[in-house]
Amino acid sequence: MVEPPETPLPGTRSALEPDRAIKPGRHGLAPEAVAAIQRDRLIDAFVQVVAERGYAGATIGRITEAAGVTKKAFYTHFTELDDCFLAAYERGTAIVLTAMSGAFGAEPTWPDGIRAALRTVLSMLAAAPAFARMSMVEVNAAGPRVRRARTECMERFRAFFAGPGPGPGESPVPTVVADAVVGGVYSTIYTHIEKGDTARLPELLPQLTYFALMPLVGRREAARYMDTSTSSPDAAGPARPESVAK
């Protein structure tokens, strides 16, 4: 079970919730606080509009209406839609990667850490379908700055799948192997979200864990993680990469 992040993923809250409203007139809030509330509401509204209508169907008018702010407020924080996309994407992926790192680091072995990290990302995306669609599907329609941010995110994601590190006499895992694993995991998640099966992402955990581990620890060791139970397989210390340790 993944604990909800302290900071919610963009798009998981309505921008129009009463406790996010700014009363007209003398509300007692500092200008910086007002600006932060408006920006957060715009980001949440952006994610929800893009998830519902696609990036091609997102307009500043629709976003500001969903956020309950004026177009002038939008241009106070962003110069164009891609600016808002970048802010939402970078905020959300940072939350996910931080949670994955925490889950990974809490496990005693590298394979256990991989399963924990995958469980985390699958559960978080399943619980935030609007953000999942924006960040995995609609990101393809965004401009070059947003796509560069996706590339940087994928590079950070790759670090989880580069193996536990070479032991004595072993070679490091080739980058192309780690990239192939990341690409396969990403593609599988993408396909489920694109088809509207986001809620079922956690069901992929056994198969994706096997897929991620198999090139590095071998089929026999990886198959132990196909168990759908929540307990970790018995393991005598971290598994060594079999396929690249020759």
Q: Which amino acid is at 106?
A: A
Task: Check residue 241 and give its pLDDT.
Answer: 43
Residue with tokens 């971290």: 238
Residue 25 in any domain: the answer is no
Residue 87 in any domain: the answer is no
Q: Is 27's pLDDT higher than 70?
A: no
- Nearest by Cα to 189 from 128, 246, 122: 122
Q: Are 12 and 130 in contact (CB under 8 A)?
A: yes
Residue 28 in any domain: the answer is no
CA distance 77 to 36: 9
The token pair at 145 is: 């700055």
The residue ranking higher by pLDDT, 245 or 206, is 206
Q: How far apart are the first and last CA of the chain?
A: 37
pTM (predicted TM-score):
0.85
Residue 8 in any domain: the answer is no
| Domain count of the fold of the chain | 1
Q: Which domain holds residue 193?
A: 110-226
Q: How confident is the model at residue 201 (pLDDT cuts 50, 70, 90)?
A: very high
Report, as an integer, the average pLDDT of 83-112.
96
